[in-house]
Structure 1
Amino acid sequence: MNIKRFELGLLGTNCYLLEMGQKILVVDPGGDADVLVQYFNEHRLSPIAILLTHAHFDHIGAVEDIRTKYDIPVYMHSSEKDWLTDSSLNGSKLFGVGEIFSHKPAEHFLDEGSITIESFNFSVLYTPGHSPGSISFWLEGEKVLIAGDTLFKGSIGRTDLPFGNHNQLISNIKEKILSLPDDTLVFPGHGPSTTVGEEKEGNPFLN
């Protein structure tokens, strides 16, 4: 599997493309749909689904454009099932960046456990705290965790936004992420990648 990262949207949110053959899973398309479409066209790739680590505005900005153009479903956690269609929940109204980013709810809701989408196999970890529906995607065969805004290099997701829970976030990081192999690559929602081992040793929020 090839994993490609783009920094998209108003806050430079990391969007990850999971490529296998000519098929693509799109994780957190935060904006700039034209950038993604150009990449798909240039490499003759076919998106088959959109995965959301959570539904804050900076992670969903291009959802509707990509979903509509390629007629593909959106997968997310049910705890945020209303966030795509409610600007007061996804934060776009709070931050004054537009009333709404998407007009339709997700097609599928993910629970913790293994999932298969065509030839893609991975695990969903339920890691709320930054937001109530935050999930992380564990690609065991690649030793990669796509962590959204749960864990960053040397930091953690903010919990001062509505519905955040600091104690819950720390607990989930320690129990579900730091229990993964130390050499697991952690791909966060913003900023550079890190490893589980690095964060165990040096993250000031976890020690």
Structure 2
Amino acid sequence: MQYQIIPVTRFQQNCTLFWCDITKEAAVVDPGGNVELIIEAIEQHGLTLTKVLLTHAHIDHAGASQIIASRFNIAIEGPSKEDQFWIDLIPEQKKQFGFSEAASFSPDRWLNEGDTVCFGKIELQVYFCPGHTPGHVVFYHPESKLAQVGDVLFKGSIGRTDFPRGNHATLINSIRQTLFPLGDDVQFIPGHGPMSTFGVERKHNPFVSDAVTKIG
């Protein structure tokens, strides 16, 4: 599996293009905006886009999902159904943040813990990781030891929980009980900022390290 991170919107959100080496089929994760940048990357690599995948429904992650899905006639998969209210708020968020590319939508498939999503010969595992939003999910490719974690975890930080239906304790639990057990050597692509590994964050992250949580 190959990937390219494409920072989009004024929030510099890490939209990621994943693709299968063999079939050149691809999925785009969290297309929040800047549609032409995303299309340019697809064309540059000679890919066939087959689906949109969403970790959660904040506008900087999901705003351009409907535009991309309509342009390529493909399905939107994710997040979990608990994020429906955020999808419904996209028009309001669009006005609030001055987004030009954003529209409400209905996912073709809600995702839950234990689901998988596929494109080409690639299969990603789905993990339910609420806290930042109530319906947040994470995508994991075991063969590459690579996870796309949205706004759950960042290099040296964690996702905000002061938005509607955010929950700090739930977020910490998602990180400690769902993500970290995947392995210290797993790299992750966060929703914003540079990549890191679960091992580095478990050791050094001031919010969820073993020392801070009195574990280990």
Q: Could you tell me the TM-score, scaled by structure 1's length?
A: 0.92
1:78 aligns with 2:81: yes
Q: Per the alignment, do residues 100 and 16 of structure 1 end up closer, same or farther by CA in structure 2, a change over 3 Å counting?
A: closer
The AA in structure 1 aligned to 2:108 is: E
1:129 aligns with 2:131: yes
Percent identity among equivalent residues? Answer: 34
1:87 aligns with 2:90: yes
Query: Whose strand proportion is higher, 1 or 2?
Result: 1
Do the aligned partners of 2:69 and 2:75 also contact (CA within 8 Å) in 1?
A: yes
**Distance in 2 of aligned mates of 1:80 and 1:54:** 7
Query: Over the residues paired in the alignment, what is the CA RMSD in angstroms?
Result: 1.8
Do the aligned partners of 2:140 and 2:147 also contact (CA within 8 Å) in 1?
A: yes
**Distance in 2 of aligned mates of 1:100 and 1:7:** 15
Pairing 1:49-60 to 2, within 5 Å after superposition: 49-60=51-62
Displacement of 1:41: 2.1
Pairing 1:104-123 to 2, within 5 Å after superposition: 104-118=105-119, 119-123=121-125
Do the aligned partners of 2:33 and 2:101 also contact (CA within 8 Å) in 1?
A: no
Instruction: Give SS of 1:138's match.
Output: strand
- The one of 167, 170, 173 aligned to 2:169: 167
1:142 is matched with which residue? 144
Q: Could you tell me the TM-score, scaled by structure 2's length?
A: 0.89
**Comparing 78-87 and 177-186, the one that deviates more:** 78-87
Displacement of 1:78: 1.2
**Distance in 2 of aligned mates of 1:191 and 1:153:** 7
- The one of 46, 49, 65 aligned to 1:47: 49
Provide structure 2 residue ranges, at least 5 long, that are not aligned to the other structure.
Answer: none
Moved over 3 A (4+): 90-93
The AA in structure 2 aligned to 1:19 is: W
**Distance in 2 of aligned mates of 1:19 and 1:51:** 13
**Distance in 2 of aligned mates of 1:100 and 1:69:** 13
- Tell me the alpha carbon deviations over residues 15-42 of structure 1, each in whole angstroms, 9 at most, x when there is no partner: 1111113111100011100011122223
Displacement of 1:86: 2.7
Give the count of matched residue pairs.
205
Displacement of 1:145: 1.1
